[in-house]
Structure 1
């Protein structure tokens, strides 16, 4: 596995440090199209899935864009870290599974946030989520509905929602 310090761009070191120390509950990354936000978020989430017995939900407003955007971004991060031998890539249902533990990334479109009322997985808690292209949502309330659907229930004491 490659060292994360060799992959992260300098302007993302603070984000990674804050993430590792659980400094905040939510992180909002801003920047233009070529700012590398998605690449760095994907790298951090792949490392999180490998380190912790949790599942991670990845969301976009438009379901049709999942495969060619965030799914491929996570796949790229796995390859960039050099850990592809530890992962299983499925497109139906759309999942990327960390084979040693069988925890995974789950991908969902939220074309209508009110339809996605509850997300729960039996084997591992959902402790992280990534909303890609938050600007696609019409209101902040739509985003809050989605977050409340994802972050439900109790997680173990050594984890907290990020």
Structure 2
């Protein structure tokens, strides 16, 4: 019997940023923002799909500036989570918060950050970039409403929730 047909060098992927870990990082995020080391957080919760030519979220993630954090949800991260995004003072720039059904943890993080900073969720340096299949997107407007997100727009291929002024992508 022949050995494994693959000879790639293994690449470790940091995972496990569930709700408690995210909440434990809230003070670090606030500190990095206050010292202007972290400019913006992009929650990327979309999926490029199985076709190789569909790469919107991969292109988006790789275009995010170095002083910004990428928080991921959904299976779309599997297209780019092996890339080296580096870190911001020890905090990985790519933080995997789980799958679509873990969106609540990201919402709780946003609400916690807003409470600690004494502002509303829509005042955070946070953009939500989501596109989900129809059955999942139907429940996410309610999730956004729980967090007080004011801006969202629907597209034929799913739902997008956008922080005001962020529709143009990473800035």
TM-score interval, normalised by the smaller of the two chains: 0.3 to 0.5
Query: Which of 1 and 2 has higher RCO (CA within 8 Å, sep 6+)?
Result: 1
TM-score normalised by structure 1 residue count: 0.38
TM-score normalised by structure 2 residue count: 0.36
Greater Rg over alpha carbons, structure: 2
